[in-house]
Structure 1
């Protein structure tokens, strides 16, 4: 993933299900963050049959920040839509996410269609790319304040997830991933997915809010009901 000689191994803060584990949510944080904060957010809306995995991105130099090393799923060269993208890094990060899905299947006997993948900002970009290119059917996709990477050369979406429900959320005052970029992403996703919903949050910046998390909870409850 770009200049990554100093990459450190990814770890996964995890909230275990408090009853029999029959479903999983895998959620990726944004640039410079860790999974711990999001794990805490999901703890507030957790259901006992669901395990929540919020991996920590490896540490690597990020061009956008002058090569400073920070937790990052791939290199970001600029915020302008015309900025070059780290195609190799995006694909490797997506593969890492798909490996977590496979591990849930093989080690915990959780079928892929009982797994939600999602993320915030940069993590959401990885989740979208991963979900739309895997041949494993998923339960759902969550994209918060994010965008579709490599959209100009995006491969045909995998047939396995053309009907998978997706919830995409974005704040109207986002200074990092603009609301317009979110709406453009939604327009592209609607051409790929049959069950895509886009929700806007007035005055919300590059963050999340209580109403958004309530909507996320409703979405999770709908696609990952207790078995």
Structure 2
């Protein structure tokens, strides 16, 4: 297991963000991205954790080994899903959450998030976690195992106030915007009151300046500075 890339809080640590990368990537990519937009400087009380996935064989890529949170059979809503490895990834993300709670950060002061498959793990984790978290940052992603919700929702009504920022480009050629919109319909259908879907015109499977600005606003609103 590779150690996560971490940006410690430069002020009194009162909140944490845990963010998962996409397929065939490493945590440091996103550490550099958040640093490039000065996000940690703007919210110095937040600690940032960017884990790196283990190497596994990916069915979609003919069994090729790469860093991945779970096995993938295809990137569209009709593709078979590997429930076991998605749930295992959720347990791993939850273990990072538990570690932060052990260190004195309350669940409401922890945001989890991710890009692409990392975002899928974050959404699944937030909906099945025993904790009601501070928010979810879901970039260029989808809600996996749709059929298991709302049955799997833990902690009932409290989850309906979970702040979720779901960002997606309408020119995404890997995770098509229609799949993201299907997830949007599901969240609204389940009654999530603080779910926000932002669509970026012309954006492919990447991240944009405006999106990173929106992310900072979301973090500041969900994890406000404490005296």
Q: What is the TM-score normalised by the length of structure 2?
A: 0.93
Q: For the Cα contact (< 8 Å) 1:120–1:146, is it kept in 2? A: yes
Which residue number corresponds to residue 17 of structure 2? 25
Q: 1:181 aligns with which of 167, 179, 182?
A: 179
Q: Quick one: which of 81, 84, 90 aligns to 2:80? A: 84
Structure 2: distance between partners of 1:130 and 1:31: 18
Q: Report SS of the residue matched to 1:208.
A: coil
Long gaps (5+) in structure 2: none
Counterpart pick for 1:71 among 67, 70, 74: 67
Offset at residue 42 of structure 1 (A): 1.8
* 2:137 paired residue number: 142
Q: How does 1:6-155 map to 2 (within 5 A)?
A: 9-43=1-35, 44-46=38-40, 47-106=43-102, 108-154=103-149, 155=151
4+ residue stretches of structure 1 with deviation over 6 A? Answer: none
Quick one: which of 165, 168, 177 aligns to 1:167? 165
Decide whether the 8 Å contact of 2:76 with 2:175 is kept in 1.
no
For the 8 Å contact 1:13–1:35, the answer to whether it is kept is yes
Aligned residues of 1:42 and 1:52 also touching (Cα < 8 A): no
Whole-angstrom CA distance in 1 between matches of 2:134 and 2:104? 15
Query: For 1:73 and 1:26, how far apart are their aligned partners in 2?
Result: 14
Partner of 1:6: none
**Aligned partners of 1:79, 1:49: CA distance in 2, in Å?**
36
- Is residue 207 of structure 2 the alignment partner of residue 208 of structure 1? yes
**CA drift at 1:23:** 0.2
Instruction: Check conservation: 1:122, 1:146, Cα contact below 8 A.
Output: yes
Q: What is the CA distance between 1:10 and its match in structure 2?
A: 4.5
- CA offset digits 1:32-87 (Å, max 9, x no partner): 11111111122221111000001001110101111111000000012242221110
- Paired residues, what number? 218
Shift in Å, 1:181? 0.6
